[in-house]
Amino acid sequence: MKPEDKVCTIEQAKELKELGVVLETERVWVQHKKLVFGGQPDQDIWLDEWHLSYRVHFDELSDHVLSAPDTAELMAFLPVAIKNDDSLLGRLQIHKNYDDYVVRYESIYKFIFSEFPAQALGEMAIYLIENGFIKGGA
């Protein structure tokens, strides 16, 4: 398994950031930039290319350095169970189903399938925030 397969996708990282999710993660997605020599630093051109790096190499997160949560970090972020008022809507379940991982909450009829567990969990986090089951952030 490649390191990129052990974390959420760059698209999921962008969407989680837009939803206000800020996670302390070991890894980050870093955007490449093309340096413009002889110009000012703000003249550098950001490319649509990203690579995975360790968080320790960057002082802070930005639009060009995004959290890249892995399976454990996403499991810590997601609630064990979702409740509606006083009733239980479902507990988090993740299991391997032939070639894919399946993530779901029992009474929420949304099943997320992915070849890699972090990417299934990332998609579930986005779904839960967008549908008001959990809060994203700021």
- Structure confidence at residue 47 (pLDDT): 79
Under 8 Å between Cβ of 32 and 51: yes
Distance, in Å, from the CA atom of 91 to the CA atom of 82, rounded to the nearest integer, reads 6
Q: What is the pLDDT of residues 35-74, one digit of tens each?
A: 666 666 666 677 788 999 999 998 889 889 999 999 999 9
Q: What is the pLDDT of residues 72-101, one digit of tens each?
A: 999 999 999 888 777 777 889 999 988 999
Write the CA distances from 60 to 66, 72, 138, integer angstroms. 9, 21, 17
Residue 104 banded pLDDT, cuts 50, 70, 90: very high
Torsion 53-55-60-62 (CA) sign: positive
- Structure confidence at residue 65 (pLDDT): 94
- Structure confidence at residue 35 (pLDDT): 66
